[in-house]
Amino acid sequence: MAGHLSPDDRTAALKSALSRNDVLLEVLDRAAAMGLPGWYLTGGCLFQTVWNVVTGRPPASGIKDYDVFYFDDGDLSWEAEDAVIGAGREVFGGLPAEVEIRNEARVHLWYERKFGVACAPHASTESAIDCFVATTCCLGVRLEPGGRWRIYAPHGLSDVFGLVVRPNPVLAPREVYEAKVARWRRQWPELTVLDWPSAPSRKGPPE
């Protein structure tokens, strides 16, 4: 079981597992060709590919989309991001999957409107990945010049290979976590889902 391997061996196991998803490899190649600043392929397409490989399912089974994050704080306009999204439609055209491109430098401009909590501006794509609703989701991969894989996994890979979903209560609210894990459990009933932590009790000032 890859969950019991050393960190270096788990990194090799991750690359091996992801390489079984042909769509994912094609997205990586095409994303690298776009040359977006600070880009990563991230989100469910990564850890869900691992879940599929570990549980013996087809590697791309149940994957809704493929998320490409980049970071460009030089132009925070929607028009600039939309131009990149439009270019991506051409680059990723013909793939049997939806590819979503987002500039993580702009997240603070819309996050509260969508999720009901404020989000401080991210400083990098990595800091955006750090804020995913579960630590298991905090994973990014990109191709560097020469085809070398760069893997960002701030919480390690043990939970990913162990099918453990652990909450990451740093930004997204509890209801987002619970909605996601409910959907994941339907597709991957083997998951072990850890509960959202209880809020600490707040004591008022002495009277």
Mean pLDDT for the stretch of residues 163-191:
96
Confidence of residue 10 (pLDDT cuts 50, 70, 90): confident
C-alpha angle 159/194/116, rounded to 5°? 105
d(CA 23, CA 52): 14
Compute the mean pLDDT over every residue in the chain, rounded to the nearest whole number: 92
DSSP string, the chain: -GGGS-HHHHHHHHHHHHTT-HHHHHHHHHHHHHT-TT-EEETHHHHHHHHHHHHTS-TTTT--EEEEEE--TT---HHHHHHHHHHHHHHTTT-SSEEEEEEGGGHHHHHHHHHSS--PPPSSHHHHHTTSSBGGG--EEEEPTTS-EEEE-TT-SHHHHHTEE-B-TTSS-HHHHHHHHHHHHHH-TT-EEPPPPPPPP-PPPP-
As to burial, measured by CB atoms within 10 angstroms (0-12 exposed, 13-18 middle, 19+ buried), residue 105 is buried
pLDDT of residue 206: 38
Mean pLDDT for the stretch of residues 55-62:
97
Threshold 0.85, pTM exceeds: yes
- How many C-beta atoms surround the C-beta of residue 206 within 10 A? 4
Mean pLDDT for the stretch of residues 183-188:
97
pLDDT digits (tens, 9 = 90+) for 70-118: 999 999 999 999 999 999 999 999 999 999 999 999 999 999 999 999 9
Contact (Cβ atoms closer than 8 angstroms) between residue 140 and residue 107: no
- How many C-beta atoms surround the C-beta of residue 122 within 10 A? 22
d(CA 45, CA 35): 20
Q: Is pLDDT above 80 for 57?
A: yes
